[in-house]
């Protein structure tokens, strides 16, 4: 039985760009799948007009969104970080198909606990964002997944 465990924290690093733009805000939650499996969920709230990019974009395209999970061998990642369908556009500048997200989107990572569940899992996400007229250089935001 799926059990939603205590959720949420708004994480946000006061970034260098905070003066003006901070169009993507991340929140995290954890869902218990079974005694040894959990799903780590990172949710991005994207301000109107901005795009967040997929984890896979063609080699010469924009920079992909990238997750990295810290671990000291307490758990194993099961598969890749899953993402939503998003929008795929044929971008005339790059001459290739590029996938991006608008409004909000969710990334999920299934993990398997080895022995005892850690209290929390630290991760970070590196991402860039663009609107029609500008882009923000990639930045990293710490994500904290609380497992209770």
Residues within the interface to another protein (CB under 8 A): 7-12, 14, 17-22, 25, 27, 29, 45, 47-48, 60-63, 87, 89, 91, 93-94, 102-103, 124, 128, 130-137, 140, 144, 146
Q: In angstroms, what is the minimal distance from the CB of 15 to another protein? A: 10
Nearer to another protein, 36 or 39 (CB): 39
Report the distance separating Cα 35 and Cα 120, nearest Å. Answer: 16
For 86, the token pair is 């998003």
Q: In angstroms, what is the minimal distance from the CB of 23 to another protein? A: 9
**CA distances from residue 100 to 65, 97, 119 in whole angstroms, order as listed:** 10, 10, 33
Q: In angstroms, what is the minimal distance from the CB of 137 to another protein? A: 5
Q: How many CB atoms lie within 10 A of CB 31?
A: 16
Contact in structure between 127 and 52 (CB atoms under 8 Å): yes
Nearer to another protein, 36 or 104 (CB): 104
Nearer to another protein, 36 or 58 (CB): 58
Report the distance separating Cα 71 and Cα 79, nearest Å. Answer: 15
Nearer to another protein, 76 or 135 (CB): 135
Helix (H, G, I), strand (E, B) or coil at 129: strand
Q: In angstroms, what is the minimal distance from the CB of 142 to another protein? A: 9
Contact in structure between 105 and 83 (CB atoms under 8 Å): yes
């Amino acid at each position: 039985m799926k059990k939603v465990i205590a959720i949420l924290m708004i994480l946000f690093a006061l970034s260098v760009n905070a003066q003006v733009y901070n169009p993507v805000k991340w929140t995290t939650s954890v869902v218990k799948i079974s005694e040894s499996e959990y799903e780590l969920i990172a949710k991005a709230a994207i301000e109107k007009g901005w795009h967040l990019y997929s984890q896979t974009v063609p080699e010469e395209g924009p920079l992909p969104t990238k997750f990295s999970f810290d671990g000291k061998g307490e758990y194993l990642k099961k598969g890749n970080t899953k993402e939503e369908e998003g929008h795929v556009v044929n971008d005339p500048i790059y001459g290739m198909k590029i996938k991006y997200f608008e409004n909000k989107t969710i990334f999920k990572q299934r993990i398997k606990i080895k022995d005892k569940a850690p209290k929390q899992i630290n991760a970070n996400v590196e991402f860039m964002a663009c609107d029609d007229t500008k882009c923000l250089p990639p930045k990293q935001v710490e994500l904290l997944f609380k497992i209770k």
